[in-house]
Amino acid sequence: MSYKVKSLKKVDESKLKLDLEITNSYFRKSIYKAYKNISKKAKIPGFRKGKIPNQIIDVNFGKKYVLNEAASISISELYPEIIMSTDVKPIDHPKINITQLAEDLPLGFEVTVDVEPQPELPQYKGIKATGLSVEVSSEEIEKQVNNIRDKFASLEPAEDDRPIAMWDYVTLSFTGRIDGKEFEGGSAEDYVLEVGSRTLFEKFEGSLIGMKKDEEKNIILTLPDNIGDGKLAGRKANFEILVKEIKSKVLPEIDGEFLKNMGDYKDIDEFRNYIKEKLIQQKKVVRRNKIIEDIFNYLVENTKVDIPSVMINNRTSVIKEGFNNKLKEQKTSKKNYLKALNITEEKFDEEIRQSAAREIKEYLIITALEKTEKDNIEPTADEIKNEKEDVLSRNQKREDKNKIKEFIESPDGEKSLVASIRRRKLIDFLIRNAKITEEEKKDARRSIKEKLLLPEKDESKIKNQDKKIWTPG
């Protein structure tokens, strides 16, 4: 081995000192590299770069300078491997102190690192949590069926004398003016709008209700604060509107033709049973995630740990970078985003920092629990094998499957897979040991967000939807 860990000492709760030594044979190779590097960069009269003899470098720069350069090379090359071998998790750059520097001796040095703090966990068995009902009512089934019918609805022209109502589709032309001048985004020809969808601002859409085909109307409205051009917010605008066509949605009948489009269902009862099973699956996911949420809220609130500011700063920077990238993708500015949310930049930054601190605390709690419950959550060989098969079965394309197989069979891939199983088993352990109070039936409808359930969706998307816990890297 090229190095030796002579000792590892705890300086305080979140600081470690390693006394290390790099073999002389490895250090000599770094000395050779140091001479080469200096020779390529140095400007010494009478000598070409890259051709400067070692003795001339010693005269001009000093032997100690060369040895320091060599020490820097050795340490930078071996530091990551040393840290991996000691299972130390630094959270910031190390502080290096050279303790022995000689050409014919091992390189001696001390490394002081800030590490992840160890949290003081509360009692984590018997945590109170709410168990949301997974029962599905006939009303919920019918609502989902109608949602699907709505997706396959057709648009039929309304009677000529029927006025516009909510959820009608209208074709209209309009011209908007401020102080007699048209403004960008304020006019359109043959614009199709679903009234009530808030595609345009609410007061504009509301003014259409009651109008009829071929009717013209002038309205004066105050432009909203979240309008695209912030300079126009709060200004009064005059709109000339012409309604050209009114259409309404007509839902398809639930007959043999409709069921044929949905899949292989012999009758409506079989289709409703399919919808019911999907709703139950979805509610089970929501139930599990609510229990996990309750458990982690308790753990975060009752765990004692001082999180180093460097961890919060680093995580905050990553969150902000991700946020800024999303704004670029959506082609919007931070200023407009904050204006739409009616929030100051200072408040926004504080919320991101709080979110970062919460993520880090959850991660530290999970890491501590994984150590404490290691014997109960370590994956077996069969569990690892089954997990690999499950991962591969969820990817049908041969090319994707081959890439994934190559990754999960690699050391890094298997390590990632084992970590995922371990975490899932820990969460299962916490749920098994929680004190779950079942939700009253009258509140059960709150347990699931409305989602459109269509036949033949990817089953794998319903599975493995546990609350996401942030982890470094």
Q: What is the pLDDT of residues 10-28, one digit of tens each?
A: 988 788 999 999 999 999 9
State pLDDT tens for residues 238-292. 999 999 999 999 999 988 888 888 888 888 999 999 999 999 999 999 999 999 9
Secondary structure (3-state) at 358: helix
> Are the CB atoms for 418 and 412 separated by under 8 Å?
no
d(CA 115, CA 155): 63
pLDDT band for position 341 (50/70/90)? confident
According to the model, what pLDDT value does residue 441 have?
61
According to the model, what pLDDT value does residue 459 have?
44
Q: Per-residue DSSP letters for 150-204?
A: HHT-EEEEPPTTPPP-TT-EEEEEEEEEETTEE-TTS-EEEEEEETTS-SS-HHH
**If you average pLDDT over residues 76-85, what whole number do you get?**
94
d(CA 39, CA 51): 6
Secondary structure (3-state) at 148: helix
Percent of all residues in the chain with a pLDDT value above 70, rounded to a whole number:
93
> Are the CB atoms for 61 and 89 separated by under 8 Å?
no
According to the model, what pLDDT value does residue 466 have?
62
State pLDDT tens for residues 108-153. 999 999 999 999 999 999 999 999 999 999 999 999 999 999 888 9
Q: Which burial class, exposed, middle or buried, applies to 204 when counting CB atoms under 10 A from its CB (0-12, 13-18, 19+)?
A: buried
According to the model, what pLDDT value does residue 470 have?
56
According to the model, what pLDDT value does residue 97 have?
97
State pLDDT tens for residues 401-458. 888 999 999 998 999 999 999 999 999 999 999 999 998 765 444 444 455 555 554 4
**If you average pLDDT over residues 161-190, what whole number do you get?**
94
* φ, ψ at 6 (rounded to 5°): -75, -40
- Could you give the count of Cα atoms lying within 13 Å of 317 in the half-sphere of its Cβ? 7
**If you average pLDDT over residues 184-205, what whole number do you get?**
92
Extract the tokens encoding 31.
């000395």
d(CA 302, CA 157): 61
* φ, ψ at 39 (rounded to 5°): -60, -35
According to the model, what pLDDT value does residue 462 have?
43
d(CA 270, CA 257): 15
Extract the tokens encoding 462.
């319903």
pLDDT band for position 64 (50/70/90)? very high
β strands within 223-327, DSSP E: 236-250
d(CA 118, CA 16): 13
According to the model, what pLDDT value does residue 342 have?
84
According to the model, what pLDDT value does residue 461 have?
46
> Are the CB atoms for 167 and 249 separated by under 8 Å?
yes
CA distances from 276 to 144, 252, 452 (A): 9, 21, 13
| Average predicted confidence (pLDDT) for the chain | 90
Which of 85-89, 185-189, 218-222 comes out lowest in average pLDDT?
A: 85-89
pLDDT band for position 83 (50/70/90)? very high
Residue with tokens 């400007």: 43
Q: Can you give the pTM of this predicted structure? A: 0.74
d(CA 157, CA 2): 81
Strand partners, 128: 435
pLDDT band for position 95 (50/70/90)? very high
According to the model, what pLDDT value does residue 191 have?
96
According to the model, what pLDDT value does residue 447 have?
44
Among 67, 64, 86, 63, residue whose Cα is nearest residue 24: 67
Extract the tokens encoding 348.
């926004």
Within 8 A by CB and 6+ apart from 214, the residues are 242, 243, 244
According to the model, what pLDDT value does residue 467 have?
58
CA distances from 380 to 154, 388, 408, 415 (A): 54, 13, 16, 13
d(CA 131, CA 129): 7
C-alpha Rg value of the chain to the nearest Å: 33
According to the model, what pLDDT value does residue 445 have?
46
According to the model, what pLDDT value does residue 468 have?
61
> Are the CB atoms for 153 and 249 separated by under 8 Å?
yes
Within 8 A by CB and 6+ apart from 399, the residues are none
d(CA 134, CA 454): 19
d(CA 387, CA 420): 10
pLDDT band for position 471 (50/70/90)? low
